[in-house]
Amino acid sequence: MSDEQSNQSQLPPTNAIEVSSLRQFDSWFEYPVRVHPHHTDYAGIVWHGTYLSWMEEARVECLRSIGIEFADLVALGCDLPVVELSIRYHRSVQLGMAVVVKARMIDVTGVRINWDYAIVSTDGQQLFVTAKVTLVALDRDRGKIMRQLPSNVKDALAKVSALHNN
C-alpha cells in the first residue's frame, strides 16, 4: 500500500455494519429520494451510477440549505469538479424504495473539499452505501485549479462544516 493510500480515510467494511453504528449519521444533512424505474437496471435494482447522482444532488441541496446556490459559485468563476471518489455498496436498493442520502462536508484542505456520504433506509436501520468524495476549486476561465478558495466560498463552506460536524 502506498503512503498516499494509507493516509486516505477508509470506508467501513461491509461486514462491519451494525445498526448502532448508524447513529453516526444523525447530524448529517438529509436528502430523501424514492427509486424510480429510470434509476434501476432491468432487474429493478438501483444502477450503481445512480448513487453518484443522488450524492451530488444532496451536496448541492446541502449548500442551498445554508444559502449557497451552486449557480452563484459558477457565476463567480468557481467550479467544483470531483477529483477523487471512493464508494462502498453494502446492500442493494430496489425499485419503489424510499431512502435518505446523508451528506456532510468533513474538511477543507487548501482547495480540496472532502465530503462523506451514507445512503440509509428512512427508518435509519439499514445502510446501503457509504462514500467519500473530494472536490477541488477550479478557475473556470483559466481551466486550472485555484491556488486558494475565494474568501466568500471559504466562509460559506465553514458554515457547512460547522452545521454537520458537531
Please give the positions annotated as active site.
41
Contact 73, 23 (CB under 8 A): no
Q: What is the DSSP string of the chain?
A: --HHHHHS--PPPGGG--GGGGGGGTTSEEEEEE--GGGB-TTSBBPHHHHHHHHHHHHHHHHHHTT--HHHHHHTTEE--EEEEEEEE-S--BTT-EEEEEEEEEEEETTEEEEEEEEEETTS--EEEEEEEEEE-EETTTTEE-SS--HHHHHHHHHHHHHH--
CA 83 – CA 135 distance, rounded (Å): 6
